[in-house]
């Protein structure tokens, strides 16, 4: 099943899904199924060793963690979750989570290969995450900041009603406390299992941003690998500052879909952060080790 | 409107096709043998009408999707032509180019100037290519926004007619910021000081539809659909095969009655029996009849209050549980 979830995530991210059947079988699997629990094979590489998917450099987890999950050799930014981002950005890793009680609900009774409610229950039983976005308030070099961060691990970081509602409440919270707002995006796009409700979250979140804008509070949108679909077609691209991590894949349509549509190979670096910066859609690219300091500078510039 | 001889039929419209052929044969016989078969023809015509009514009363979600894409279905320009007078089409986004998949301009609707904007599909193979099958590029969305801002400046209400299988997923579209263009439109439409009415007249697929779909009132025509992804693409991603599109259509609950039930739209606009493609005049008349009073109603509300209501309307959309940890 975890294979299926991974394939599904890969698909959301527009990557080619590789199924067991397509691999040549020199060795036969004796036992059926893969029994590794998702909790044991998170997005964040766990265990003692980590391998860079780009340069194959192998280092210890401790070393990778010290480098904020950036490959010490070629600077590849490993995908990390909200917990890691909060650790990196907030002073002493101290923060308070907000609106953690809101959970997804299978309102439509949506069933594809698996009922949506079953999909949700499976993930809840395997991770501590309640949904694909967590909201937290904390300090960055002493300055207040509310951060809403996505977890790709939870149905591909997909945008559903819960993300929309958390986003809206986070904005209300910011307006009440006069705090700036930051969103860290990492998502395949809208959550299809919530059908048109997920689409309407694009409008709902944009409406919230309109209120934040009237309150003259800064909104920073940090795009990380990968950010697609509904996110880039709404709040992802609406930041007072749109910034990104190096090498992140960011776009509206997934590369696979574009390739099928235009029937041509895509140029190297297409839809990477550097490509977006070049075409004028990002204010700057910031490597993870410099993220906190740069953010702190920006926040103080807005304030003073 | 196509004459009966030029009509195209979907598979489930076959009974109607048979009846039309029967009429043609009867008419030919009448002429050949100098008979008066008027009575018989009238009966057949009534049968066709009954069949049309019957068909649309029992459509599956997928069939509704098929009807929304009917090759004879009226598109945006047809509605503009039939509903308004003095239409002045305006082109270009003042930046890159004119997107032929998105049309718009000022027009006179029942004595009042309105800005009317929508995706446009082509009526034949050549035009379909020119119109890019109703799939706009970023410049299309920026053109739409430019026209909306123009309407706002001169305090004219805005009507958008939505009919798209999605925003175009192309290389240049990404280079020019398809995501940003749609995001900007959604954001700006939320803040427009003039009344905005959106109508899904055919296909309402995802961000490409919502990019001109944020309004004080959102309506769906009877045989249209509106959701986050086309049933085919949903099937490909979730079922890993194109073949489950009927099931996907059912699961997505993308028809007007469902959408109205969820509170995601404000009303359904009826179509002539059998679908809008049977009678363009009547389709346009019904749409106009619905639009005119709504514009007057919205005009009564002060601008700032209208914006607040618009934001609140979309804020209410969603479902979740609150489970204290």
- Cβ(B154)–Cβ(A253) below 8 Å: no
Q: What is the DSSP letter of B228?
A: S
Examine the domain organization and report whether B33 and B106 are in the same domain: no
Q: Which residue of A has its CA nearest to B251?
A: A110
Are residues B89 and B175 both part of a single domain?
yes
Domain extent at residue A211: 80-303
d(CA A92, CA A85): 12
B177: domain CATH number is 3.90.226.10
Inter-chain touch A232–B252, beta carbons under 8 Å: no
Between A and B, how many CB-CB pairs are < 8 A? 195
Write down the pLDDT at residue A29: 62
Residues B188 and B301 occupy one common structural domain: yes
Other C-beta atoms closer than 10 Å to the C-beta of B14 total 10
Residue B323 lies in a domain: no
Q: With a cut of 50, list the residues of chain B below it in pLDDT.
A: none
Q: What is the pLDDT of residue B4?
A: 75
Nearest residue on chain A to B253, alpha-carbon basis: A195
| Residue of chain A whose Cα is closest to the Cα of B314 | A204
> Chain B within 8 Å of A279 (Cβ-Cβ)?
yes
CA B89 to chain centre: 19
Asked whether residue B5 is domain-assigned, the answer is no
- Which among B264, B310, B319 has the least Cβ separation from residue A105? B319
- For residues B312 and B72, what is the distance between their CA atoms, to the nearest angstrom? 38
Determine contact: B177 vs chain A, CB below 8 A: yes
Inspect the interface and report whether the beta carbons of A111 and B264 lie closer than 8 Å.
no
Confidence of residue A44 (pLDDT cuts 50, 70, 90): low
Q: Would you state the pLDDT for residue A1?
A: 41
A209:B211 CB<8 A: no
**CB within 8 Å of B103: residues ≥ 6 apart:** B76, B77, B80, B89, B117, B118, B119, B120
pLDDT of residue A13: 47
Check A252 against B251: CB less than 8 A apart.
no
pLDDT at A97 over 60: yes
Half-sphere exposure of A279 (CA within 13 A, CB side): 21
Mark out the alpha helices in chain B (DSSP H runs).
Answer: 14-33, 38-57, 61-68, 76-83, 125-130, 138-153, 171-175, 178-190, 206-210, 231-234, 245-252, 256-261, 280-300, 303-315
* Alpha-carbon gap, residue B259 to B209, rounded angstroms: 15
pLDDT band for position A15 (cuts 50, 70, 90):
very low
Residues B115, B18, single domain; the answer is no
Residue of A281, A145, A116 lying closest to A217 (CA atoms): A145
Structure-block tokens of residue A205: 């979140």
According to DSSP, residue A15 is labeled: P
B33 and B73, same domain (yes or no): no
Domain identity same for B286 and B223: yes
Number of domains, chain A = 1
Task: Tell me: do B34 and B128 sit in the same domain.
Answer: no
Tell me which residues of chain A, numbers 203 to 222, contact chain B at a CB-CB cutoff of 8 Å. Answer: 203-204, 206-211
Question: Cα separations (Å) of A94 from A221, A286, B137?
Answer: 21, 22, 44
The answer to whether A124 contacts chain B (CB < 8 Å) is: no
Instruction: Pull the structure tokens for residue B200.
Output: 């899904």
What pLDDT score was predicted for residue A43? 54
CB pair distance less than 8 Å for A207 and B253: no
ipTM over 0.85: yes
B318 touches chain A (CB under 8 A): yes
Q: What is the pLDDT of residues B42-60, one digit of tens each?
A: 999 999 999 999 998 889 9
Model confidence pLDDT, tens digit, residues A112-163: 999 999 999 999 999 999 999 999 999 999 999 999 999 999 999 999 999 9
Give contacts of B184 with chain A, Cβ < 8 Å: 237-238
- Structural domains in chain B (count): 2
Range of the domain at B33: 11-58
CB B91 within 8 Å of CB B103: no
Is residue A27 in some structural domain? no
Q: Quickly tell me which residue has 């179509």 as its tokens.
A: B271
Q: Which residues of B fall within a CB distance of 8 Å from A114?
A: none
Residue B77 lies in a domain: yes
Residues B41 and B146 in one domain: no
Query: Does residue A266 form part of some domain?
Result: yes
How far apart (Å, rounded) are the C-alpha atoms in residues B264 and B256? Answer: 10
**Residues on chain B touching A21 (C-beta within 8 angstroms):** none
Where do runs of H (alpha helix) occur along A178-287? 195-214, 255-262, 273-278
Q: Is B198 on the interface with A (CB under 8 A)?
A: no
Task: Decide if pLDDT at A85 tops 50.
Answer: yes
The pLDDT score that the predictor gives to residue A47 is 74
Contacts of A267 in chain B (CB under 8 A): 171
| Contact between residue B8 and residue B71 where contact means Cβ atoms under 8 Å apart | yes
Decide: A156 and A12 in contact? Cβ < 8 Å: yes
What are residue B61's phi and psi, to 5 degrees?
A: -60, -40
pTM for the model: 0.91
Instruction: Give A210 or A261, the one with higher predicted confidence.
Output: A210
8 Å CB contact of A195 and B314: no
How big is chain A, counted in residues? 304
* Residues of chain A neighbouring B179 (CB-CB closer than 8 A): 232-233, 236-237, 251-252
């Amino acid at each position: 099943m975890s294979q299926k979830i991974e394939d599904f995530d890969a698909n959301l991210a527009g990557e080619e899904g590789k199924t067991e059947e397509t691999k040549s079988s020199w060795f036969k699997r004796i036992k059926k199924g893969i029994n590794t629990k998702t909790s044991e094979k998170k997005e964040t590489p766990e265990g003692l060793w980590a391998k860079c998917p780009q340069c194959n450099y192998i280092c210890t987890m401790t070393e990778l963690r010290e480098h904020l999950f950036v490959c010490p050799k070629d600077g590849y930014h490993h995908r990390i979750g909200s917990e890691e981002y909060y650790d990196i950005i907030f002073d002493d890793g101290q923060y308070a989570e907000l609106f953690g009680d809101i959970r997804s609900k299978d309102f439509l009774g949506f069933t594809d290969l698996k009922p949506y409610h079953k999909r949700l229950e499976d993930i809840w039983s395997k991770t501590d995450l309640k949904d694909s976005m967590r909201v937290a308030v904390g300090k960055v070099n002493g300055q207040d900041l509310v951060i809403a961060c996505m977890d790709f691990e939870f149905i591909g970081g997909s945008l559903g009603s819960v993300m929309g509602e958390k986003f809206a409440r986070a904005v209300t919270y910011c307006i009440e406390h006069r705090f700036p707002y930051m969103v860290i995006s990492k998502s395949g796009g809208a959550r299809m299992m919530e059908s048109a409700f997920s689409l309407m979250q694009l409008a709902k979140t944009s409406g919230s941003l309109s209120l934040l804008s009237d309150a003259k509070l800064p909104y920073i949108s940090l795009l990380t690998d990968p950010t697609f679909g509904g996110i880039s077609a709404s709040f992802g691209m609406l930041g007072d500052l749109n910034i990104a991590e190096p090498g992140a894949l960011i776009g509206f349509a997934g590369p696979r879909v574009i390739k099928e549509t235009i029937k041509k190979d895509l140029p190297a670096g297409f839809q990477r952060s550097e490509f977006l910066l070049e075409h004028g859609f990002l204010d700057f690219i910031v490597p993870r080790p410099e993220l906190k300091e740069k953010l702190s500078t920006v926040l103080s510039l807005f304030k003073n | 409107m196509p004459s009966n001889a030029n009509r195209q039929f979907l598979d489930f419209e076959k009974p109607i096709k048979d009846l039309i052929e029967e009429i043609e044969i009867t008419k030919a016989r009448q002429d050949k043998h100098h008979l008066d078969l008027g009575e018989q023809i009238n009966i057949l015509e009534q049968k066709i009408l009954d069949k049309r009514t019957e068909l649309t009363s029992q459509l599956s979600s997928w069939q509704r999707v098929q009807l929304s894409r009917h090759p004879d279905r009226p598109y945006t320009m047809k509605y503009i032509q039939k509903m308004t007078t003095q239409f002045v089409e305006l082109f270009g986004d003042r930046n890159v180019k004119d997107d032929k998949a998105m049309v718009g301009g000022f027009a006179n609707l029942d004595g009042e100037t309105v800005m009317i904007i929508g995706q446009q599909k082509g009526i034949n193979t050549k035009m379909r290519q020119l119109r890019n099958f109703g799939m706009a590029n970023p410049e299309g969305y920026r053109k739409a926004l430019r026209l909306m801002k123009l309407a706002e400046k001169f305090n004219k209400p805005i009507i958008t007619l939505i009919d798209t299988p999605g925003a175009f997923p192309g290389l240049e579209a990404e280079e020019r910021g398809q995501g940003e263009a749609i995001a900007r439109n959604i954001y700006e439409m939320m803040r427009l000081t003039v009344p905005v009415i959106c109508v899904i007249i055919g296909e309402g697929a995802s961000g490409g539809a919502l990019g001109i779909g944020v309004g004080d009132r959102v309506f769906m025509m009877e045989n249209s659909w509106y959701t986050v992804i086309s049933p085919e693409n949903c099937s490909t991603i979730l079922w890993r095969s194109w073949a489950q599109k009927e099931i996907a259509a059912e699961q997505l609950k993308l028809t007007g009655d469902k959408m109205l039930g969820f509170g995601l739209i404000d009303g359904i606009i009826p179509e002539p029996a059998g679908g809008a493609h049977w009678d363009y005049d009547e389709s346009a008349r019904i749409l106009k009849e619905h639009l005119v009073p709504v514009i007057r109603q919205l005009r009564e509300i002060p601008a700032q209050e209208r914006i607040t209501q618009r934001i609140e309307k979309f804020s209410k959309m969603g479902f979740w549980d609150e489970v204290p940890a």
